[in-house]
């Protein structure tokens, strides 16, 4: 809204022409969301503490010190991220751009599911929350609607396209049925993988910031006809506007890290992790880099795979592969300190992000 308002004044005030540049607006969106988080976080955290006497319920089968140190820490901190993200995006993005509304729709809808899940956990003082089947049902419904939306507005040359990294001109076309299935796998998988990673102070938010920054850059390149042609990428007209959303999420994430850094004053909860993961997934679909998401977000993939392997192994053999799943708890059980696990996982996230960026040129 602010972007459109300032744009209307360019003829009278020529210096406002700067708002037409994505680079300027992305920086402005980043700073805006960061400031919003810093201003409102203390009040929201105090309010959450007043409403959550016991804080987020802690798994009884987890590391014993979690019960002592993390008890009483409020959850639902994702509302801080969501609020700053939505407000900053609406202020600085071109609200006539349909991709912005698709991503906001997915992010807010998954955030609502996460909020309800967090609410049930806190109100019932139980870490299980909303039924897994109910969560997946609504997630699939939400993504199906979004994928039909994306498919219908896509130009014919990129409609239903799934591109493969590292191989030049390697892609397949999916019809709307299989495209919806693929989109559901990407978005729902990404959302829940990020959710599984969110188990230690600061563990999930930094990889989220790293991944969304990478996809902000890719969105800019894909939305620019010159860069997309040079790098042999599918040109998606209008997708560059997603840089504003990505910058807003990165700014909100860094602001939230200030309060989520060990020892955390607040947890993002499912409200934040489900919505951030879904945002990554739907952006990757819009810009045709779904497979690259599996590389850039490889840490989230490892965490999700560790849970899947653990469940199947126990059901088939009665034995566990890991001392505890998700993977970060396995290393805690092995004696690694929380800070060691978190920092080493951050390093892995950076390395995977660099590999993901390399796919832009290695084709």
Report whether 163 contacts 289 (CB < 8 A).
Answer: yes
**pLDDT value, residue 162:** 92
Q: What whole-number distance in Å separates Cα of residue 349 and Cα of residue 314?
A: 28
DSSP β-bridge partners for residue 173: 161
**Residue 346 in this model has a pLDDT that exceeds 90:** yes
Report whether 265 contacts 45 (CB < 8 A).
Answer: yes
Q: What angle do CA 227, 243, 221 make, to 5 degrees?
A: 10
**pLDDT value, residue 10:** 80
Dihedral sign, Cα of residue 244, residue 246, residue 249, residue 255: negative
Q: What whole-number distance in Å separates Cα of residue 306 and Cα of residue 323?
A: 11
Q: Token digits for 257?
A: 């890290």
DSSP state of 17: G
pLDDT digits (tens, 9 = 90+) for 26-67: 999 999 999 999 999 999 999 988 877 655 565 555 555 555
Q: What whole-number distance in Å separates Cα of residue 90 and Cα of residue 36?
A: 14
pLDDT digits (tens, 9 = 90+) for 182-219: 999 999 999 999 999 998 999 999 999 999 999 999 99
Q: What mean pLDDT is predicted for residues 94-123?
A: 94
Q: What whole-number distance in Å separates Cα of residue 234 and Cα of residue 239?
A: 11
% of the chain at pLDDT higher than 70: 94
pLDDT digits (tens, 9 = 90+) for 293-344: 999 999 999 999 999 999 999 888 888 999 888 999 899 989 899 999 999 9
pLDDT band at 69 (very low <50, low <70, confident <90, very high): low
Pairing verdict, β 171-173 and 161-163:
antiparallel
**pLDDT value, residue 245:** 98
Q: What mean pLDDT is predicted for residues 267-280?
A: 96
Q: Token digits for 81?
A: 């991220």
| Phi, psi torsion values for 163, nearest 5 degrees | -95, 150
Residue predicted with more confidence, 18 or 141: 141
């Amino acid at each position: 809204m602010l972007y459109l308002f300032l744009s209307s004044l360019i003829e009278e005030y020529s210096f406002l022409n700067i708002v037409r540049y994505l680079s300027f607006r992305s920086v402005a969106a980043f700073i805006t969301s960061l400031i919003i988080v810093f201003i409102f976080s203390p009040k929201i955290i105090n309010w959450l503490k007043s409403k959550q006497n016991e804080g987020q319920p802690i798994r009884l089968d987890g590391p014993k010190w979690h019960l002592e140190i993390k008890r009483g820490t409020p959850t639902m901190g994702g509302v801080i991220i969501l609020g700053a993200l939505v407000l900053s995006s609406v202020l600085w993005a071109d609200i006539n751009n349909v991709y912005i509304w698709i991503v906001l729709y997915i992010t807010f809808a998954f955030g609502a599911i996460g909020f309800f899940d967090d609410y049930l956990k806190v109100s019932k003082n139980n870490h299980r929350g909303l039924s897994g089947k109910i969560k997946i049902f609504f997630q699939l419904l939400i993504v199906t609607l979004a994928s039909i939306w994306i498919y219908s507005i896509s130009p014919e040359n990129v409609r239903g396209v799934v591109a493969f990294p590292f191989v030049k001109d390697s892609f397949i076309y999916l019809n709307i049925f299989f495209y919806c299935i693929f989109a559901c796998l990407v978005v729902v998988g990404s959302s829940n993988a990020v959710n599984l990673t969110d188990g230690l102070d600061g563990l999930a938010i930094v990889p989220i910031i790293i991944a969304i920054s990478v996809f902000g850059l890719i969105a800019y390149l894909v939305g620019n006809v010159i860069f997309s042609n040079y790098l042999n990428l599918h040109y998606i007209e209008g997708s560059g506007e997603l840089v504003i959303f990505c910058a807003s999420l990165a700014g909100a994430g860094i602001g939230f890290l200030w309060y989520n850094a060990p020892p955390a004053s607040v947890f993002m909860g499912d409200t934040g992790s489900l919505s951030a993961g879904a945002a990554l997934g739907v952006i990757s679909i819009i810009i045709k880099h779904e497979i690259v998401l599996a590389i850039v977000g490889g840490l989230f993939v490892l965490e999700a795979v560790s849970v899947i392997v653990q469940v199947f192994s126990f059901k088939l053999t009665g034995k566990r592969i890991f001392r505890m799943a998700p993977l970060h708890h396995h290393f805690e059980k092995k004696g690694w300190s929380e800070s060691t696990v978190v920092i080493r996982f951050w390093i892995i996230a950076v390395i995977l992000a660099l590999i993901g960026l390399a796919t832009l040129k290695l084709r």
